[in-house]
Amino acid sequence: MSDTSRTDRPTVERRSPDKPSRVLRPTVERRSPDKPSRVLRPTVERRSPGKPSRVLRPTVERRSPAKALRRRIGIDVGGTNTDAVLLDGTRVVHAVKTPTTADVTTGITRALHDLLTDRTVTASHAADAGVTAVMIGTTHFTNAVVQRRDLTQVAAIRIGLPASASLPPFVDWPEDLAALVRGEVIMVEGGHEYDGRPIVPLDERGLRDAARRLRGRELTSAAVTSVFSPLNAECERRAAAILHEECPELAVTQSHELGRIGLLERENAALLNAALVDLARRTTRAFAEALRASGLAAPLYLTQNDGTVMLAATAEAFPVYSFASGPTNSMRGAAFLSGLADAIVIDVGGTTTDIGSLRHGFPREANNVVEVGGVRTLFRMPDLLSLGLGGGSLVQGDPPLVGPASVGYRLVEQGRVFGGATLTATDIAVAAGLVDLGDRRRVADLPVHHVKAAVARMHAAIEEGVDRMKTDARDEPLVAVGGGSFLVPGRLAGISEVVHVPHREVANAVGAAIAQVSGEVDQIFQNLSREEALAQARQIAEQRAVAAGAAAESLAVVEREDLPLAYLPGNSLRVRVRVVGDL
Amino acid sequence: MRRLYREGAVVSLMDPMDLADDDHVAVVSNMGAPLVGQERLTDPRTIARAVTMMEEYLGRQFRAIMSLEIGGGNAIQPFMAAALLGRPVVDADCMGRAFPEAQMTSFAIHDLPMFPLTLVDVRDNAVVVARAASWKWMERLSRTACVAVGSIAATCKAPRTGREVKECGILYSTTKAIRLGRTVQAARRAHEDPVAALVDSEHGRLLFTGKIADVARRTTEGFLRGTATVDGLGAFRGGRFELAFQNEFAVGWLDGTPCVTTPDLICVLDSVSGDAIGTETLRYGQRVSVVALPAPPVLLTPKGLEHVGPRAFGYDLDFTSVFA
């Protein structure tokens, strides 16, 4: 096996080493000569009657296979800036950066306007610039949880009594967040064993009584979690049906659609999701409205934590899936812009620096429990290290300390080189000659030793952070992206080369534009050989990916993990498989 | 347990030497698959019911409660039962760690009786194993009942007298576990190396530091068996350490030569945080330190080695302690 194809986990099979071509290189027309069929296959074949599941694909058909990847818009709606890029095939045609607005729509509309009216874009195309898909990534939903705003009260419904009664819903939540979200807690009998047997029969009457109570309380959102629902979702489905009968307007989140095994973490995901569905619906519709106002008819997708996308109409029911899409998009964008599939990525923003590890073109995921706003979850999230260091970090004291406080988006007013009075990391970089920004004369008075000490401190922090995220002893390349990437030193221990790429300041939006779709399964298989279990799991994952819009012939397994279960009879194997494919 | 404490529960820890010879002590543990415990969450009332059921069966009260094994969730189970039943927890267990099988206890090594045993589930199912022909039979009978109720059940093992605990138990292991946790936390707070702090305070030995390069697991006879390979980093760069496990780590080889075997306690720790990494949570790429901690003396006797030495795990190796 080549260096870059080492598997990332025990018995996890990632992309095979003979397909390095799946990471797209910018300005490279075709991925690889040995797999032309993937790109050049005629359209008719793609619609063969033997693939009925493909009805779920985006409603706008591709005009020709060669355009499958052409003319996509990627948008990143961040807390400070809304970035947009137009990709033609693998070429970045144009990129713009505009301030995010409170209503989101205005910012996106402005970004799209700037993008679509640029001469390079309109030169040879119609009003919609021939765009076939628009992908939006946003940190809106994470921010709502972290900042405790725009959250909806939720009815938490747990099915599993008499089991798990000791730890009711919200038990491990921060009290301030629980107080905002906890509308009602209902626990009823039901649920399943690990092998699919019922624990006790579902208490339908109790559920119906509870549903009637909810009607009186005028709650709009509910989260239903049943014990072992990832294996048998019958109880959750039945509960949702009863709730809909009694409260037709209620939005019901079912935990088995969100999570893996791990009751509390899956329930937390369902509760957070239920708390965000109203906001998600509003936001998604604002996105769609912005598209319509810009004259774009292309389908709208939202990017997910794992670097893939979902149709906006589907995604608005699952806001938790886009929690970590910001860092994921920047890492995927870095992979795309650099042409590297395996590398460390550092994204230096205005206030923080995120460091992650790319494996086969995707971010390496965090091992275990991920906390969002203080709530334990099991989301698929990139394994990231965040440092309080960015272009706007304050530089104070002697010897100088850098960050974690930052002027953030006010850098362009308050930074010294921009005419302000605050000494920032950017000012130090200008004084040290690392970048040419603003008015260099305004930092000419800084003592050389002071500048050197501040630069040394920043470089040391970055070097240590990069080392902590490295999981391979060998030297690896480092891709530097983000507006503050000039802070990254040219040489680091354990790094073979520091790669600066064009359009690095909009890597996020580029990552959104190139997103794929995925399907995942995480399930216990019994009385099957390991090979049979893996094959079954792969089939389920592929069906799910196709249902999400993937082209069946483009599917590839990106993760495969199997874990024999101690103590369980019947040769039990827990299998997790994830496949991705092109839209 | 945190919830019980928040609700005002108080549990006192009892010095085993304060037990009268004829006191009765309950030995408790949750039995089953760790994965099932992630969905069917542990419930203090179930473990308490296993204890009261044993009391009803015996017709006498327990003075105190102790842990079967001071590893994983079972270190906490006696505290849950104790909180609900208002009894103290004895500062002891009978493994001095965690072992996968029923006969791998200091009580078994001392040939104490293995029955009766009570087993209850969260519904209203309960089983008494009144007699068993051997420790292995006890393992087989109770394991069968456990699987039938969903591979998770609370058990109260054969009761012990105060004298048996004092003579045959692994004493002061609860305070030792608390001390280990505090050492790691203190080192983290002080931004010191938690692994080094642990090795230092427990007279252990750092055997290897590196990155997990491979993990192979398989289920045989109801256990999780497998191997893990660690590639050296830092001072161990270029070296390779292999670990074999059956639920717990059993043997370690350094560059192909046996280096450490059970019952020396083989611990795999996250090199940065000092958190313990169990055999089910090993993952490729983790940066780990392999540490050996000394075993309780009873496990090092010829009889002890019969029960828990490398041959009890199927390795044709003689036990040589890294601390010898």
Tens-digit pLDDT profile for residues A522-539: 888 888 887 898 899 999
Output the pLDDT for position A127: 54
Tell if the CB–CB gap between B222 and A569 is shorter than 8 Å: yes
Output the pLDDT for position A66: 35
Does the residue B323 lie in any domain? no
Output the pLDDT for position A122: 60
Collapsing DSSP to helix, strand or coil, A209 comes out as: helix
A152 and A267 belong to one structural domain:
yes
Contact B269, B289 (CB under 8 A): yes
Does the residue B177 lie in any domain? no
Does the residue A290 lie in any domain? no
B305 and B241 belong to one structural domain:
yes
Does the residue A29 lie in any domain? yes
CA distance A183 to A170: 11
A157 and A274 belong to one structural domain:
yes
DSSP A365: B
Of A164, A200, A564, which has the smallest distance from its Cβ to B41's Cβ? A164
Does the residue B185 lie in any domain? no
B59 and B18 belong to one structural domain:
yes
B18 and B140 belong to one structural domain:
yes
Does the residue B116 lie in any domain? yes
Does the residue A325 lie in any domain? no
Does the residue A457 lie in any domain? no
Side-chain-facing half-sphere of A583: CA atoms under 13 Å: 31
Output the pLDDT for position A467: 83
B117 pairs with which residues across the strands? B129
Tens-digit pLDDT profile for residues A539-565: 999 998 888 778 888 898 877 777 666
Residue B52, domain CATH: 3.40.1610.10
Collapsing DSSP to helix, strand or coil, B219 comes out as: strand
Does the residue A423 lie in any domain? no
pLDDT at A377 over 70: yes
Domain-ending residue, one of A281, A312, A346: A281
Does the residue B181 lie in any domain? no
Does the residue B321 lie in any domain? no
CA distance B305 to B323: 16
Of A165, A200, A569, which has the smallest distance from its Cβ to B147's Cβ? A569
pLDDT at A53 over 50: no
Does the residue A177 lie in any domain? yes
Between A22 and A452, the higher pLDDT residue: A452
Domain-ending residue, one of A281, A305, A331: A281
Residue A215, domain CATH: 3.40.50
Q: Which residue of A has its CA nearest to B233?
A: A473
B67 and B162 belong to one structural domain:
yes
Domain-ending residue, one of A258, A281, A304: A281
Counted domains in chain A: 2
A566 CA to chain B: closest CA distance, Å?
A: 5
A274 and A164 belong to one structural domain:
yes
Tell me the H-state helices in A93-233.
105-116, 119-122, 140-146, 175-181, 204-217
B43 CA to chain A: closest CA distance, Å?
A: 5
A455 CA to chain B: closest CA distance, Å?
A: 24
Please check whether residue A385 touches B, CB under 8 A. Answer: no
Chain B residues whose beta carbon lies within 8 Å of the beta carbon of residue A193: 36, 150-151
Please check whether residue A171 touches B, CB under 8 A. Answer: yes
Chain B residues whose beta carbon lies within 8 Å of the beta carbon of residue A187: none
Q: Which residue of B has its CA nearest to A367?
A: B283
Output the pLDDT for position B82: 95
Of A272-286, A457-471, A557-571, where does mean pLDDT reach its minimum?
A557-571
CB pairs under 8 A between A and B: 125
Output the pLDDT for position A61: 31
User: pLDDT tier at A515 (50, 70, 90 boundaries)?
Assistant: confident
Supply the pTM of this predicted model: 0.77
B163 and B19 belong to one structural domain:
yes
B132 and B236 belong to one structural domain:
no
Tell if the CB–CB gap between B39 and A564 is shorter than 8 Å: no
Those residues of chain B that have pLDDT short of 50 are none
CA distance B210 to A194: 35
Strands of A373-505, DSSP E: 375-377, 385-387, 393-396, 401-406, 476-481, 495-500
Does the residue A345 lie in any domain? no
Of A255-264, A277-286, B148-157, where does mean pLDDT reach its minimum?
A255-264
Output the pLDDT for position A120: 66
Does the residue B179 lie in any domain? no
CA distance B176 to A257: 43
Counted domains in chain B: 2
Residue B309, domain CATH: 2.40.390.10
B283 and B216 belong to one structural domain:
yes
Chain B residues whose beta carbon lies within 8 Å of the beta carbon of residue A163: 40-41, 43, 122
B52 and B138 belong to one structural domain:
yes
Q: Residue A91 is encoded by which pair of tokens?
A: 């070429």
**What is the span of the domain harbouring residue A192?**
147-281
* Mean pLDDT, range A443-461, rounded to an integer: 92
pLDDT at A353 over 50: yes
pLDDT at A151 over 90: yes
A151 and A62 belong to one structural domain:
no
pLDDT at A6 over 80: no
**What is the span of the domain harbouring residue B204?**
190-313
User: pLDDT tier at A128 (50, 70, 90 boundaries)?
Assistant: low
Provide the sign of the torsion angle of the four alpha carbons A267, B151, B7, B76, taken in this order: negative
Domain-ending residue, one of B117, B143, B171: B171
Of A156-165, A209-218, A288-297, A380-389, where does mean pLDDT reach its minimum?
A380-389
B166 and B195 belong to one structural domain:
no
Range among A172-181, A463-472, A523-532, B69-78 with highest mean pLDDT value:
A172-181
Of B38, B122, B283, which has the smallest distance from its Cβ to A261's Cβ? B38
Q: Which residue of A has its CA nearest to B284?
A: A9
Does the residue B319 lie in any domain? no
A159 and A277 belong to one structural domain:
yes
C-beta neighbour count of A350 within 10 angstroms: 25
Task: Determine the distance from the C-alpha atom of residue A242 to the mean position of all C-alpha atoms in its chain, rounded to a whole number.
Answer: 33
Of B44, B237, B286, which has the smallest distance from its Cβ to A473's Cβ? B237
Could you tell me which residues come within 8 angstroms of residue B286 by beta carbon, excluding any fewer than 6 positions away?
A367, B211, B212, B270, B277
User: pLDDT tier at A442 (50, 70, 90 boundaries)?
Assistant: very high
- Complex prediction ipTM: 0.78
Does the residue A46 lie in any domain? yes
Domain-ending residue, one of B144, B171, B198: B171
Output the pLDDT for position B78: 95
As a whole number, the mean pLDDT across chain A is 80
Of B35, B41, B212, which has the smallest distance from its Cβ to A167's Cβ? B41
Q: Which residue of B has its CA nearest to A190?
A: B123
Task: Tell which of A194, A266, A476 to mutate to test the B interface (max B CBs under 10 Å).
Answer: A194
B10 and B142 belong to one structural domain:
yes
CA distance A92 to A86: 6
Output the pLDDT for position B79: 95
Of A403-412, A501-510, B88-97, where does mean pLDDT reach its minimum?
A403-412
A85 CA to chain B: closest CA distance, Å?
A: 35
* Mean pLDDT, range A331-345, rounded to an integer: 92
A257 Rama sector, left if φ>0, alpha if ψ -120 to 50, beta otherwise: alpha
Task: Tell which of B39, B43, B151, B155 to mutate to test the A interface (max A CBs under 10 Å).
Answer: B39
Could you tell me which residues come within 8 angstroms of residue A258 by beta carbon, excluding any fewer than 6 positions away?
A266, A269, A270, A273, A318, A320, A321
B210 and B293 belong to one structural domain:
yes
A65 pairs with which residues across the strands? none
Chain A residues whose beta carbon lies within 8 Å of the beta carbon of residue B83: none
At A464, which helix (H) or strand (E)?
A: helix A448-469
